[in-house]
Structure 1
Amino acid sequence: MSPPEDEIEDNGQLEELLTFIRDSRGFDFTGYKRTSLARRIRKRMQTVGFERYPDYRDHLESNAEEFQELFNTVLINVTSFFRDIEAWSFLQTAVVPDLVAKTDPAQEIRIWSAGCSSGQEAYTLAIAFAEHLGIEQATKRVKIYGTDVDEEALREARTGLYPAKALERLPEGMRTKYFEPSGELFAFRRDLRRRVIFGRHDVTRDAPISRVDLLACRNTLMYFNVEAQVKIIERFHFALHESGYLFLGKAEMLLSDSARFDVANMRHRVFRSRVGGGHPRGTRFDLAAGADLRDANRRRLVTDLALASAPDAMLGVDSDGTVAMVNGAARLQFGLSSHDVGRPFHELEVSYRPTELRSAIDQAHAERRSVRLTAVQSRQPGDDAQHFDIIVRPLITSDGEDVGAAITFVDTTEATRLQREIKRAQENLATAYAELQSTNAELETVNEELQSSIEELETTNEELQSTNEELETTNEELQSGNEELETMNEEMRIRTAELDETRTFFEGVLSSVEAGVVVLDGQLQVRSWNRGAEELWGLRADEVFREDFFKLDFGLPTDVLRERVRTSNDTGERSGPLKIDAVNRKGRPLVCRVSCSPLHGPGEGVVLLMEQDRKS
């Protein structure tokens, strides 16, 4: 059953909006899960009064400040110190001692907190190591990198200032040991603060920090789709030292990645990088020196990135189309030498033989993704044919600059030959053992059923994992909304107290006035009837509240005042005192002087001042 056309149209418009945000602001949301991402964007659209994605895109184009509001809505910065205390206890008792024991005292223990939000997790890591090493040793041996894509959250993290409520999870001893009062806030202690470096970093696009002993990325992966999660985990594995630790959130898992990670503790989501797993290490990316590295030498950066990409024959071509690197395997395979470095790529025979590569390079740059050419055949005179899978990867820096391309030649000749031999052997076996075909068919059917069952179980497991991540995301959104409601409730309580105090004050003022004071609203209904009016006419305030003044039955003939009151209410002008013969609450005749004044302006009500004329 296909989705409704309006849903397809909405999805297409959402993708166009995400592409616009990526191209105009350099922020790539395309790897995020669509359900939660669409929900957060819709929430912001409702706030500013838009129903359709194209209309909201026009609003973004004309209002640059709206981008920051959108980012703050999408990036849910829910964090705290020692969040999920059982997991942190395991980290302190098992992981931290192991890292300290196996690291030379002369070397730094490098820690990366990816998706650190406003910094609580990075400072928690500093506290955990300081508790084990002591503060003096921690300031010498531990360096922590806190990264996030949210600049506003990073600015808060750099200050190291937090309200008392944020420190509630910390034991009293830790609060006094690691935080100092700073006005109404508390500041993280300076000596440890200098060992924590914060910087903007996009885990989906930017080069990872290298040689990391412990990488904490908690409740961040759950916002990305499966493809983005795979790429991020690959980058994390590249960043970690062999036997380094990866610390994830309770709603996150490493599914089918046993080639690169071993499980240290599944319950607390702690994994260890496998020795010898994954790709070769050697390229160094350091957050603190990132700008210097980019400015130092573009060609050296291309070379380092290309060498880190694959172990096979490989070329590096910079953005000007000049050969920047030729590794040893490529020299042997294609007869190249070090003299070819610096030459235009199109002058080399390998650029068009065994296949045209220049168009593939242009495609990789244009689409900013890897381009794969499979089963490419190369035949040299007098030699057997060779087969290659050719992969062209654009090389993107942490600033999003496209500095070149890496071309990798994966030799599949032996695999192709083996496939052909296997096919011939299968044909021979099929001929020789025709009587076993029925049995083979039955076994194949059973195998397919088992495979189908396994796939269904894997699908169910992934759906459960996705549901768990969605629930965790919803929980964080609810937590964020609850904090906003608590703030609003506190403001309303303060406002209510102020209004009560003001009302009590004005009631006291009116009660202290000896003359009768009556306040009428714009419809000339009684809103206030002070004590002087009660004593003069014998009517209580609760008897006349919101009653039509001219329908009240008391000793003052109100019809005489009708025209003056309406004129004052309509024009907003004051009317002088008018003497009227009346009868007080005791039935005694008196002459009452009545003055009429506007309450605020035309149509907003009047104030009547009633005094007994002492001369009467």
Structure 2
Amino acid sequence: MFPQESNGQFEALLAYLKEVRGFDFTGYKRTSLARRVQRRMSQAGVADFADYIDLLQVNGDEFGALFNTILINVTGFFRDADAWDHLRAEVVPVLLAERGPDEPIRIWSAGCASGQEAYSLAMVFVDALGADQFRQRVKIYATDVDDEALAQARQASYAQNEVEGLTDEQLERYFEQHGTRYVFRKELRRSVIFGRNDLVQDAPISRIDLLVCRNTLMYFNAETQTKVLGRFHFALAPRGLLFLGKAEMLLSHSRIFDPLDLKRRMFRKTGGSPLGLGSLVSQAFAHDRHGDVSGLDELREDAFSASPVAQVVVTSDDIVALINQQAELVFGLSPRDIGRPLRDLDISYRPVELRAYVDQARVDRRALRIKDVEWPRPPGETVWFEIHVNPLVNSDNGLLGVSIVFHDVSAARKLLDELEHTNRQLESAYEELQSTNEELETTNEELQSTVEELETANEELQSTNEELETMNEELQSTNDELQTINDTLRDRSAELDQVNDFLEAILTSVRPGIVVVSRELRVVVWNRGAEDLWGLRREEAVNEHLLNLDIGLPVAELRASVRSAMADPDFEETTDLDAVNRKGRRTTVRVVVGALRRPSGTVDGAILVMEPTDKPD
């Protein structure tokens, strides 16, 4: 790559960046990393790594330019469309089917850059769940180490060329256009939480159902990739899914991730441990015996009897041959049980059914291990065993018998239970802290948005206040004009009252009955003469239909005359009708029907003048 001296200076530069700014690039591939650093050094006019460290010490702004060069944020909406189509059509439906209808869904977009990947995930899950369910169930955690990219992602605002890959339907459904830019809808944006996270140094987010890290691992060396993938394995929930970029593979990590679709880089978390890269194998070595040792049979018998682990040996015929002291103490056996068939002893079926395992070890000539055997003991005590069933064979592979060893693992089991309980408590505390942190981040974003809205509202209120002051002056002027008009109307009203009183006096003074009807034949005027003639008061007649009046006059015979008067302003007709007056006396009434004309010549109704032709009684 470059001379040894430059190599040492380059490593010193990486150490300086880690110490001063907390960015650990030592896990990145040296070739691509050095090429990017040298590109920035060329732009800054520096040729030596040591001189570049001096430049960083005196110019703090240079850090940002360097990080932007190293962290190339190449991204876009639904980048690699085929993989996203597969995620939408095949992966997401399975992920949702494996979870309850109200179960929350947690997604992590690691290395989110300027946010297009995170918002692409939001669109996929809104399409699958609907907007309401998405807001209630889905949380998308989008992280990156580039603070400038995160600031842009939080704005959720993109130029025309940045949304060219989206359809018109997607733009209309998920974005609001502000001038020449497209802004992701606020009600959906609240489910996407952005934060800084260094995949190499920071703790991973936990309980993730779908982890998307596309074309980020390729910048790390093999050792760092292993470390990051171990963190991803921890972060994912059981059967969680990992979505990588097309430039990345997991061929060396098949123990912790199963491939679902290698072409599209879809993987599922397995139950394997991310820490174990191999298995430990122990071997027994035979040594040549030097010299003879006397009393071996007695020594073996005493050693077997004194063993702290309960052990029983049966012959090839299933007859109990040996029982040590610990077995007698734990299972209540005695020397008298030696020589009896194993099936006749309680130990053959308690704490576990042993005969099937003994038969299998005898037939297969291989050792068996029975884990997690629980044996409740009075009073309320539980003992846990791990039982080893080992066939005993001679040098010719002939079966001598079977050894049954009961390892008491109660203490270890208790420690494991306590450890598991502690882990659950730690995980619960971590989840609560993580949840609190997420809520604080969300609250901070909401507060920032609220401050901006309040500033805008304040400006609008100030402008509105100025408009209101102008309007108030105009209203005051209008009020003065209205007061003048009101005084004029009051004077006119008094004049109209006088005219009405005068007209009322005329109608009251006229002896014949006078009835005025509208064009709808509704009674408008009913004078005193009409009351005296027909015995119907004015308040009973006004607004009633002429033809519906219950009086002694056959008003139906006047219909034609009234209609003619309304059609012809010069019409006038006199008719004599037989009638019955208010006293019940028969009389003849002369009715004059004429048009009710305005000065303009239009007809508003008809006037009926009614007067008896005979003398009143």
Which structure has the larger Rg over C-alpha atoms?
A: 2
Higher relative CO (Cα under 8 Å, sequence separation at least 6) belongs to 1
Alignment TM-score, normalising by the size of structure 1: 0.44
Alignment TM-score, normalising by the size of structure 2: 0.44
